[in-house]
Amino acid sequence: MPRLTLKASMFGKQRIKEARIKKIAEFREKEGNIDMDEIFLREASKILEPDKEWGNSEDKYAVSLPTWTRFRQAKTRIDADFFKKFCQVLELNWEEIAESEMDANTDLSEAPALTKFYGRKQELNELQQLVKRCRLVLLYGMGGVGKSALVRQLVDRVTKQYHRLIWLSLQSSPPFPETISQLVQFFSKGERETGNLSDVIQELQRQKCLMVIDYWDEIIDNSREDCTQYYQFLEKIHKTQHQSCVVVISRRKPQNVELEGKFVESRRLQSLRDDEIREFIKAEGLFGSVEEIQRFSRLYNNSWILKRIIQIIQTVFNGEISPFMNNGESTTFMDEATTDFLNQQFQKLSQMEVNLMYCVAIRRNTVSWNQLVQDSKAFLRQHQLIEYVNSLISQHSLLYKNTEEEPLIYALEPVILKYTTERFVEQVYQQIIEVMNKGVISGNELFITHQFITEHPIDEELHREQMRRIVQRIQQILLHNFKSQQHLETQLRNIESLLEEQGYDARNILYLLAACEVCMN
């Protein structure tokens, strides 16, 4: 007969924490500043075996330190007798804090909190239909777009339709055996601590389960040996007959998994629509004119960034959009937290993908396929270009197609456009400084591979934008560094000579020199 085990509920875990703090204060008053964990082990041992004399050495106790730790952390179940005795030491009613049978069937300890949710009705309904008929559902999209929040809403909606429900986070990139052990412990209700993939599959066959695996991209990006085991896990999930569903959440679409078949579906979560953003900002108490709200909704459609901007407007302007939208800046607002957030997105890209993002940003969201071929020919062949554009659209969700234009236009969301432009400017500046210091050109510098002022076709309005946002901005940062206009021009002339000596196009340096002349005049 299996032993009876118990674990504290989420409410119980908090009660344990509070009671432990109170008891520590009492023990310290009586016994001084000694090892508190040993005191708790000693007191529990006195209750378990009252006829024995208990000293201050752990190996003499009736219960171990790891068992006490598991009791406090409430992550895994422990022997029921030990659980009750620890509760007695803390003066807690074990029945009030123990996890119920319903709680034991559900583990949402790694899930995000259930928060206010706006829009996404169509996506939520579709997702609900998919989990009904699929063994494996893959939801992917750019970071911050709201994937986890959407699935959390789904879980809340369908909880009663499943016998077992667990949310796993791979954010810390756990080794595959550790993930399997966590699942085995959950399905066995703490009776077993180790097992294998077959044990998990059997549970998915035996009862109707919903399993959510979040942060799958952390496994993709880790290039570890057990990455293959994770992919084999997904293969097994959708190719083995069972009555359960596994939902995988990722910033990138998994490539090493066969995504075709009756029981597997993948969906890309797009940015919020304008009407959903308007619903969002109205519900959050923001107000402004119709025109201001429309402009705002076009600029900020990533859920994470939107929440961040709304918080700033509430804090600084008490919810009024007008002063935020009319602050004298014609560009999109981006604070340090947003920059850090987008830095994380770009860290997942290859250098070639970053270079392509720069091409789109330089064209200010007006780049056609033929223009992209022309602009990237210094660092990419056309077959590579197809591969990387596909990756930026379908894998990273950073690039999108504007199908309303003819011919087709590739573009970036406004905040991403601003970030990419600023990143390009900063990187060009750093590379120019490096060449000035070393007097050596590698040929891979951005001021060689990318044209600051594009051609094909000649577009005066676009050229003015490129001059203002790229050329003049680089020149201003350089001037701030050198302090002297004359010194800066001398250094730029030196780079011009280096480029001409090695047969490279020096037009970008000439643009910077022209900007210096305009600045001086």
DSSP string, 333-369: P--HHHHHHHHHHHTTS-HHHHHHHHHHHHTTS-EEH
Q: Which residues pair with 8 in a beta bridge?
A: 98
For residue 211, report the phi and psi dihedrals to the nearest 5 degrees.
Answer: -120, 130
Q: Per residue in 439-451, pLDDT tens? A: 889 989 999 999 9
In contact, 213 and 238? CB cutoff 8 Å: no
Of 111-120, 237-246, 367-376, the range with the lowest mean pLDDT is 111-120
pLDDT tens across 84-97, in order? 988 988 898 988 88
Rounded CA-CA distance 238/244 in Å is 10
The pLDDT of residue 131 is above 50: yes
Structure-model confidence comparison of residues 9 and 473, the more confident one: 473
Instruction: Give the pLDDT confidence score for residue 123 in this predicted structure.
Output: 94
6 - beta bridge partners?
78
Gap between the Cα atoms of 449 and 514, Å rounded: 20
Higher-confidence position of 258 and 160: 160
CA dist 364 and 80 (Å) reads 65
β 400-402/409-411 pair status: antiparallel
For the chain, the average pLDDT equals 87
107-268: CATH class: alpha beta
Any residues with CB less than 8 A from the CB of 289 and at least 6 apart, and which?
A: 322
Give me the pLDDT at residue 172, please: 86
Q: What tokens does 317 get? A: 């302007």
Burial class (CB in 10 A: 0-12, 13-18, 19+), 89: buried
pLDDT at 2 over 90: no
Which has the minimum average pLDDT: 12-21, 154-163, 187-196, 273-282? 187-196
To which residue do tokens 């085991």 refer? 229
- Whether residue 40 contacts residue 89, with contact meaning beta carbons closer than 8 Å, is answered with yes
Choice between 261 and 476, residue whose per-residue pLDDT is larger:
476
pLDDT at 333 over 80: yes
The residues spanned by each domain of the chain are: 5-98, 107-268, 274-325, 346-520
- Does residue 351 have a pLDDT over 90? yes
pLDDT of 222 over the 70 cut: no
For residue 467, pLDDT over 90 is answered with: yes
Which candidate, 401, 353, 293, 343, places its Cα nearest to that of 144?
343
> Which pLDDT does position 56 carry in this prediction?
54
Paired residues of 400 in beta bridges? 411
More confident residue, 33 or 241: 241
Is the confidence at residue 3, as pLDDT, over 70? no
- Average the pLDDT over each of 16-20, 54-58, 84-88, 143-147 and give the range with the smallest value: 54-58
Q: pLDDT category, 103, cuts 50, 70, 90?
A: low
Q: Which of 260-274, 276-290, 321-335 has the least mean pLDDT?
A: 321-335
Question: What are the DSSP calls for 159-214, one per residue?
Answer: GGG-SEEEEEE-TT---HHHHHHHHHHHHTTTS-S---HHHHHHHHHHS-EEEEEE
Q: Name which of 405, 426, 302 is nearest 354 in CA terms.
A: 426
**Least confident interval from 223-227, 278-282, 491-495, 504-508:** 223-227
Q: List the structure tokens of 135.
A: 């063994």
pLDDT the model gives residue 508: 94
Separation CA 507–CA 453 (nearest Å): 9
User: Helix count (H) and strand count (E) of the chain?
Assistant: 26, 11
Other C-beta atoms lying within 10 Å of the C-beta of residue 285: 11
Q: Which amino acid is at 270?
A: Q
Q: Quick one: tokens of 420?
A: 């990419």
Q: How confident is the model at residue 54 (pLDDT cuts 50, 70, 90)?
A: low
> Which range, of 226-230, 252-256, 505-509, averages the lowest pLDDT?
252-256
Query: Is 1's pLDDT higher than 50?
Result: no
pTM of the predicted model, to two decimals?
0.76
More confident residue, 38 or 352: 352
- Confidence (pLDDT) at 89: 87
From residue 403, how far is each of 113, 265, 406 by CA, in Å?
37, 25, 7
Paired residues of 287 in beta bridges:
320
For residue 256, is pLDDT > 60?
yes
Instruction: Give the pLDDT confidence score for residue 328 in this predicted structure.
Output: 60
Q: What is the mean pLDDT of residues 217-245?
A: 83
Distance CA 33, CA 392 (A): 58
Q: Which residues pair with 265 in a beta bridge?
A: 137
Neighbouring CB atoms inside 10 A of 279's CB total 15
Residue 59 clears pLDDT 60, i.e. is over it = no
Predicted pLDDT at 274: 87
Q: pLDDT tens digits, residue range 474-499?
A: 999 999 988 788 889 999 999 999 99
Is the model's pLDDT at 358 over the cut of 60? Answer: yes
Residue type, position 10, single letter: M
Given a cut of 90, whether residue 280 has pLDDT beyond it is no
Percent of the chain whose pLDDT exceeds 70: 94
Beta carbons of 468 and 376 less than 8 angstroms apart: no
Instruction: Give me the pLDDT at residue 38, please.
Output: 81
Q: Would you state the pLDDT for residue 499? A: 92
Query: What is the tens place of the pLDDT at every residue in 395-431?
Result: 888 998 887 777 889 999 999 999 999 999 999 999 9
* Beta bridge partner(s), residue 264: 136
